[in-house]
Each structure stands twice: as structure tokens, then as C-alpha cells.
Structure 1
């Protein structure tokens, strides 16, 4: 496997997040928790790895997410959860993941705490999705995600109605919701991207507005 030279942006990310080591934390006792891997490819033009959950699933069907899933009793830590799930879902060998940061734990709209880990993977690593869980695994150029003009709004059907929500459109995929929150906070913190969608705040009910990120939000704890 030929080694791709690091892009300057990867060095910038690593330096910016050096104070936030990838500590392998444990879930809270009695709490159902999850972990995901925000994987960046090591290449001249880095990309972010996403999955699209299968349409036949009972929950989160068809949604775009990061590789990851629920903590299991056999997992040594939430970091182990993220690496195990990434290997199961997209065949990403854990020994090829250079984990460089633990991002802030966030809670989904349904109340599940999720710990995201940031990792760098080889640019030419072959990824394949598990069709029992996923419809696709795909990559989006980091440069695309850093452009405010690509952060748009679209109508989504939720349990209590249809709402205009922020998202990225990339091909046939829409990146939104919890995954978008984690992504935007990472881009703003690690790269000072200054991405935001405050223009949508007044159009949403309070229970959804609370999950939108503002530019003034705190940095990583």
C-alpha cells in the first residue's frame, strides 16, 4: 500500500486537537451509550468517511452517519466500540486507524449519549459496507465540507412533522441531524471554519432548536 503524503490540513488538525487526547473512556454505569468514528483519509485532499444506514432497518433507516454503534459489554471502552463497529460495518481494520482525538460527547435527539473519536486512515484503504446494516459507505472531500455555500437547508419528515433542517447535499446523500452537529463542531473547532446555520433558529420548535450549533458555542472541553 503506497503511503500518501500528509496534507497540511491534517497537521493543522492534529496540532489544534493535541490537547484533547483519545482517552478510552467508559460508559456511565447503567447508561446505554454509543461511540462513532469520524475518519479522515490521509491524502493530499483528505476525505471524511460516512455510511448510509439500510432502508430496511427499524431505526435510523436510510440516514447518513459516521461508522459506529452501541457499546457492548465485551468492549474494553467506548473507543473500542467505535473501532469494533467501524470494522464490522465498513471493514476498516482497527490497526489502520490513527486515533488522534476524543471529541465532546453529545446526546442524540432520542437521548442516547454518543462519544465521537477522530481518526486518520490510509487514503487508499478499501472500504466495503455490510449490506445487512448499510446501503453504502462513501467519502466526502473535506474541502467540500468547509465551504459555507454547501451547507444548505432541506425539508425532513420527523415524528412530529416536517421541518426545514440544515444539511449538506452530496450526490444522493444528505448529511444532517446529529451527524451534522458533530461534523460542524469538529470543523469549527479544529479548522476555525466558522460554519453555522443560525438563520434557521426561528423556524424551528424549541426541542429541535436546542440541537442546532451556533458559532458562539464553546470549544472542546
Structure 2
């Protein structure tokens, strides 16, 4: 069975059951009157014996989420046909990932962020070792982290902090010198529960 087949089967089966009581997002930290902005991110899994996931690190000069690790992605623009189109566009803009290399598997649980975004993660498979080129205006660097490491609960810790005057809990994962936390770690936590691939 190919990696794509494995991921597709796990994603479909994982969504057959209601796991809302297990999933975490930031909806409790969102002002009820706030209109959420639609966004999409691409979870690009590399097709290799030990699959990895592609991440970008935002530059420190960015207004939103400076220096944070994220999946390629961003706001859904009026010209985008849907969340998939937006995720593919953003990935191409940020790291020159050609959409012809991306095999879309499907969409998984939306993540509502306390910063006001309704984020649609798009799961996909890409060939390994593509020649990514980071756009310096949006991406400081990019890296690949092993899927097994990211999905192992032993590598994911829960922390408490205060944001906008409210206490919030968030996940944190360290891979080498990179800190994966907040929204991105939350999406990974949700996806691991859907796929059931915990080590």
C-alpha cells in the first residue's frame, strides 16, 4: 500500500467517528462578535520510507505571527476557488512548491484560532527532496520534520499562557532548533487523532 493510500484510508476512517471531545482549537478564546477570516494551510507529507512534513518559519518582521513555525498557507483570497486552491497558491508563493507535484488527499478538521482565523488544513503527499525556494518576504526558512516524531505524544507538551487577558493552553513540539507550537501544533494534534498514527 502506498503512503497516499495509507493516509487516505486513515483519514476517511478517522472521520467516521465524532472526535470533537478529543480535539483542541481556540474557539473558547474567540470573541463571539468577531467575524472569522477564512484561511487554508497545506500539510505536505513527503513520500519517503520515513515520511516527513514540510514547515516554514515566518520572518521576524512580519506583522502577524512573527518568527513562528507554520504550515505553508494563508488567507483565502477572492480569486481562490476554494481552500485547496488557496493552500496550493500560498505554498507556491512561499516556497515555490509547484501544484503539479501535490497529490491532494483531503481536508481535515478546521481550526479556529484566537487570532480570528477559521483555518482549513489540507492534507497532501508530495515527492521527497523537492528544490524549495523560500520567498524572503514571507519565509525565513523551511524544514522537514518526521511524521512519526510529530505524532508521538511523548514529543508534544501542553503549556499555559495568557493572551489578550485570557488564560489559554497550547501544544508545543521541538524538532531540532525549531519550536512548533500554538495553531500549528494544535492542527498536528487533531490530525494525529484522526489518523491514529501515534507511536
TM-score, normalised via structure 2 length: 0.80
Pairs aligned (count): 179
Residue 73 of structure 2: aligned partner:
68
The correspondence for 1:119, drawn from 113, 121, 124, is: 124
Equivalent residue in structure 1 for 2:57, among 52, 67, 74: 52
Greater RCO (CA < 8 Å, at least 6 residues apart): 2
Is the contact made by 2:36 and 2:116 (CA closer than 8 Å) also made in structure 1?
Answer: no
Pair 162,113 (structure 1): closer, same or farther in 2 beyond 3 Å: closer
**Gapped regions of structure 2 (runs ≥ 5):** 16-34
| Structure 1 stretches lacking a partner, 5+ long | 21-29, 195-221
CA RMSD across the alignment: 2.5
Gap change, CA 1:155 and 1:105, over 3 Å in 2: closer
**2:6 is aligned with 1:12:** yes
**Deviation at residue 156 of structure 1 after TM alignment:** 6.2
Given the alignment, which residue of 183, 186, 196 partners 2:188?
183
Name the residue aligned to 2:144.
139
Which structure has the larger Rg over C-alpha atoms?
1
How far off is 1:192 after superposition? 4.5
Shift, 1:165, TM fit = 4.0
Alignment deviations for residues 58-103 of structure 1 (CA, whole Å, 9 cap, x no partner): 1110111100011111111121100000000011000100000111
Check 1:186–1:45 CA distance in 2 against 1; reply closer, same or farther (3 A cut).
same
**Alpha-carbon distance between aligned partners in 2 of 1:76 and 1:93, rounded to the nearest angstrom:** 17
In 1, Cα distance between equivalents of 2:93 and 2:63: 19
Aligned to 1:88: 93
CA distance in structure 2 between the aligned counterparts of 1:64 and 1:155, rounded to whole angstroms:
19
Shift, 1:146, TM fit = 2.5
8 A Cα contact 1:6 1:44, kept in partner: no
1:154-169 residue pairs with structure 2 within 5 A?
A: 158-160=163-165, 165-169=170-174
